[in-house]
Amino acid sequence: METTLHLISDLDGTWIPAGLDRGPLRKLEANIASRPDLTLTFATGRSLRSALRAFGHLLRVWPRNFIVDVGTALFHARAGGAWVENGDYASWVESRWDTRPLAEAGPRWLPTGVRPQPGISAARRLALEVDSWRDVPSAEADLRERLGRIGMVADVLATGRCLDVLPKGINKGTAAAFLQGGFQPSPPVMACGDSENDIALLDMADLPILMVDSRLDRRNRGLPWERVHRTRFPGPRGILEALLTLRCQGRSG
């Protein structure tokens, strides 16, 4: 069946809020399951392994696609519950990720108070975190300056106390746009998110949905505020209400 809506949702704080009540999640999942015209994609800053470990026991309805590691990797669901990485997307992102300057700079190039996030070893992303004593904006500025000095071409994305060093121009929005290219015709996108690493995803969406409890506000540039709809409820209840009450149309049509 032709996809008439591509629903792309963040996980932490969006599909799965803190203190999740499973009742609203079951209702949202039932609605998704009843709509064969809807394609569901999850987009997370976590690795696939981390997302499956954290949320696998909570989910009954699975997405067709999984954007992971802040858009630097993309997986598709296969029969039997297997996940297969999209090799074309992986190669394209890889071509934009030259870490030789990092290797040449050695282990001491990181700013003081910035260290690798424990347990994350993504192939095309450097996940860092800022120590509690250090101010995040100054650590971010310091990181950008040092990356420039060692000749590392990359984007820096700050989400809370996490600093992600990403291949230039790659984020959740890039992976979502890549997925859109696989549909014929391309369906409208409704995207749901709550934090800084969702901004590019919300910006590419026809209908950007920001969770009611998100800390993002108009000081966060890059969000298409004139099109953003804020949910009335947190988590699955808010997403389901948006799904049932808002009309999502392509912007070009």
Contact between 167 and Mg ion by CB under 5 A: the answer reads no
Residue of 10, 69, 140, 142 interacting with Mg ion (CB under 5 A): 10
Name the closest residue to Mg ion (Cβ). 13
Contact between 195 and Mg ion by CB under 5 A: the answer reads yes
- 92-to-145, 170, 175, 238 alpha-carbon distances in Å: 26, 10, 11, 35
Tokens of 17: 């809020």
Round to whole Å and give the CA distance between 180 and 99: 29
Compute the chain's Rg from CA coordinates. 18
Residue of 8, 13, 127, 152 interacting with Mg ion (CB under 5 A): 13
What's the closest the beta carbon of residue 51 comes to Mg ion, in angstroms?
12
Residue 142 or 196: the one with the smaller Cβ distance to Mg ion is 196
Round to whole Å and give the CA distance between 150 and 136: 21
Tokens of 60: 């009954």
What's the closest the beta carbon of residue 18 comes to Mg ion, in angstroms?
10
Contact between 44 and Mg ion by CB under 5 A: the answer reads no
Provide the CB-side half-sphere exposure for 152 (13 A, CA): 25
Residue 16 or 154: the one with the smaller Cβ distance to Mg ion is 16
Name the segment binding Mg ion (CB under 5 A); options: 3-11, 100-108, 134-142, 159-167. Answer: 3-11
Which of positions 204-243 make contact with Mg ion (CB under 5 A)? none
